[in-house]
Structure 1
Amino acid sequence: MTSKVVTVQDVAIVAGVSTATVSRALSKPEKVNTATREKVMAAVRVTGYRINQTARNLRKKEAGAVVALVPNLGNPFFSSILSGIESVLAKEGLSLLVVDILQTSFRREQAYDYLSMNQADGLLVLDGTLDLTNLNDGSVSSELPPVVYCCEWGTDPRFGSVRVDNHQGSQLAVSHLYTLGHEAIGLVRGPAENRLTAARQEGFESAISEYALPLREEWLIDGDFSLDAGVQAAHRWCALDERPTAMFCMSDEIAFGFISELDRLGFSVPTDVSVIGFDDIAIAERFIPSLTTIRQPRFRIGQEAAGKLLRRIAGEVENRAESEDAARRTVLPVELIERRSTAPVSEKQRAL
């Protein structure tokens, strides 16, 4: 295909069906049998067809909706971000459709289908592991649909992203623990394949090196961002011959699991070990003990991501004064929130 506007006729030719069937498959898919519908959608992806693709501004709102792809709606981390997104979209008369990709066996092709079938004007992606490179299968022109990553980022640098300075957050965590006298500091990591994990570990190791602190492999515990990861990490910490006097958990959920399991095993936070998390979700302030953590401005993240997506839908060039790369990426600062889960290292801890 050339860069000309792709028509229904082009889709019909590739699919081997009539234009009426194509129109019906796109507007009323429930009235077309599965095999035919799949042929039409395959042809849509091959040709790069988009309904009303010349009407790409907010005044003509094609679908009147934006889709947010969320890795796990059960995780309270995402609620404030979605609220921030909704606050911006509502002002423009756009609806927010939320898809839990963990529960729906989501496939990459479905992201393109949302756009090509006029179900959404753009995508907000809250999962950096979802690879949307060549979203239109690379079969047509290089034009990309409006996509913005939120909190994370993908491998395709052409997509926009809004996230926090994860490197800075880890440095703040280590610096806080160091000022409390902790020199043996451990880490509970997030998922191995996640970019947040890599960025936060880089910041952690950088700060450890800056303060000339020991970095022992047995103090670096694998996990994910879940409560269960914290539970497992607590058992790993207990089994160590030399235990760190402080632990940095890459998410609040990890920290909650870690602290609660230590309590069950007869240990106390921060008496036996100081614990710091990352995110500052709502329960962090009410947890016992209240959690010292790195605050992500989650509502603002949602607002910034929605605004960036709307500008892309409208076809606006972002921030001409900056480089294209800087305009695509928005990196927000984080903040250390000190609470009761961290305390100065005790003489008892020093002696262990």
Structure 2
Amino acid sequence: MSNSAPATIEDVARLAEVSIATVSRAIHMPDKVAKSTRQRVNQAIAITGYTTNAMARSLRMGRSNMILVLAPDIGDPNFSSILIGLENEARAHGYGVLIGHTQNDPERGLEYLKFLSSSQAAGMVLFTGHQPFGHQVVSERLPPSVAVFEPVFDSATPYVGVDDQAGGRKAAEHLLSYGHRRIAFIGDSKTRLGHQRRRKGYDLAMDAARIPANQRMVLDGDGTIESGRLAVEQLFMRDTLPTAFCCVNDATALGVINGLSARGYDLPRDFSVIGFDDVPQATYVKPALTTIRQPRSAIGRQAMALLLQNLGQTGSEHREILILPDLIVRGSVSEPARR
């Protein structure tokens, strides 16, 4: 096939050896097509470049069917699973997804905003926890947007994510059920709303257990492995140590485990650790990490469904769709050591 000739749906059908109607169903209603047929159609689309050409035609007609996803860190283990949910839902309704990797760089944010202002995106999904830097300068009105993974501070942007408060409470209650009373919360934040909600859940569980606020150990952190390791060093400068660590996310928990292991402690005999997110690395660390699992694909699907519902509306009410997380029990929590 010539590179200069745009591929047609007939080309895809011919290559996949199916009807044109089947190709259309595979693109717009993939759940109604057998998996083996869907795979043949997808392979034919990839070979012919039909999807790309279809998107280009829609842009030439002045109608965008692209959704821009702005993410500060595409290497975050949570990103790919949420993206799968976003993309599957978008594709089922005839939309494509473009990824804008901002790396927290305002200049990159401005570049993507110029793309938005030229009407090349119908909507936007924010992983960043804030509106794009400089959006007031580039455009008077942003396209319909929805936030995932991190709520947007001081904004009417709808949000779809895990119920952070319920998850934080569930994590602390799990530690309390094993008899822990000196439980440190690692990863409090003044800038990340999701982390604040997880801390609130921890406090609610400690309140219910009648543990006074002055007996709780709360340390700030930025959600990185290094912040978890640093928290261990800070706590070992104190007279009273916790028996358990309730961590704001799995990366922090991995840092705590590394810090304790470097000091020669045996986990969970000496200390218990619980995380939040259930990233793939949680199963490989020793001991395997007990954690709170984010329903990432479900978050992606519901976020895209909400965004597509809001397309074409002049304004969308501020909504939050919070999905309850699950407790995943592995090997990093046990009863407190008797010292």
How far the C-alpha of 1:110 sits from its partner, in A, is 4.4
5+ residue gaps in structure 1? 1-56, 319-323
2:255 corresponds to: 257
TM-score normalised over the length of structure 2: 0.75
2:335 corresponds to: 344
Query: Aligned pair 1:146/2:147, yes or no?
Result: no
- The answer (yes or no) to whether the contact 1:183–1:214 under 8 Å persists in 2 is no
TM-score normalised over the length of structure 1: 0.72
Residue identity opposite 2:278 in structure 1: D
- Cα gap change, 1:114/1:160 in structure 2, threshold over 3 Å: closer, same or farther? farther
How far the C-alpha of 1:87 sits from its partner, in A, is 1.2
1:119 match: secondary structure: coil
1:270 corresponds to: 268
2:131 corresponds to: 131
2:304 corresponds to: 306
- The answer (yes or no) to whether the contact 1:68–1:124 under 8 Å persists in 2 is yes
- Cα gap change, 1:303/1:173 in structure 2, threshold over 3 Å: closer, same or farther? same
- The answer (yes or no) to whether the contact 2:278–2:291 under 8 Å persists in 1 is yes
1:232 match: secondary structure: helix
- The answer (yes or no) to whether the contact 1:112–1:136 under 8 Å persists in 2 is no
2:325 to 334, 338, 346: 334
Cα separation, 1, equivalents of 2:116 and 2:138: 15
1:279 match: secondary structure: coil
Cα separation, 2, equivalents of 1:92 and 1:182: 49
- The answer (yes or no) to whether the contact 2:167–2:198 under 8 Å persists in 1 is yes
Task: Between 93-102 and 60-69, report the one with greater CA deviation.
Answer: 60-69
Cα separation, 1, equivalents of 2:188 and 2:111: 27
- Residues 185-204 of structure 1: matches in 2 within 5 Å? 185-204=183-202
CA RMSD of aligned residues (A): 2.7
- Cα gap change, 1:245/1:84 in structure 2, threshold over 3 Å: closer, same or farther? same
- The answer (yes or no) to whether the contact 2:106–2:133 under 8 Å persists in 1 is no
- The answer (yes or no) to whether the contact 1:190–1:251 under 8 Å persists in 2 is no
1:181 match: secondary structure: coil
- The answer (yes or no) to whether the contact 1:184–1:214 under 8 Å persists in 2 is no
Query: Aligned pair 1:179/2:180, yes or no?
Result: no
- The answer (yes or no) to whether the contact 1:86–1:96 under 8 Å persists in 2 is yes
Residue identity opposite 2:89 in structure 1: V
1:11 corresponds to: none
1:234 match: secondary structure: helix
Aligned residue pairs total: 281
1:246 corresponds to: 244
2:276 match: secondary structure: strand
- Cα gap change, 1:188/1:243 in structure 2, threshold over 3 Å: closer, same or farther? same
Cα separation, 2, equivalents of 1:194 and 1:270: 29
2:185 match: secondary structure: strand
Cα separation, 2, equivalents of 1:92 and 1:168: 32
- Cα gap change, 1:82/1:261 in structure 2, threshold over 3 Å: closer, same or farther? same
Cα separation, 1, equivalents of 2:102 and 2:85: 20
Residue identity opposite 2:294 in structure 1: Q
Residue identity opposite 1:343 in structure 2: S
How far the C-alpha of 1:220 sits from its partner, in A, is 1.2
1:268 match: secondary structure: coil
1:68 corresponds to: 69
- Cα gap change, 1:139/1:68 in structure 2, threshold over 3 Å: closer, same or farther? closer
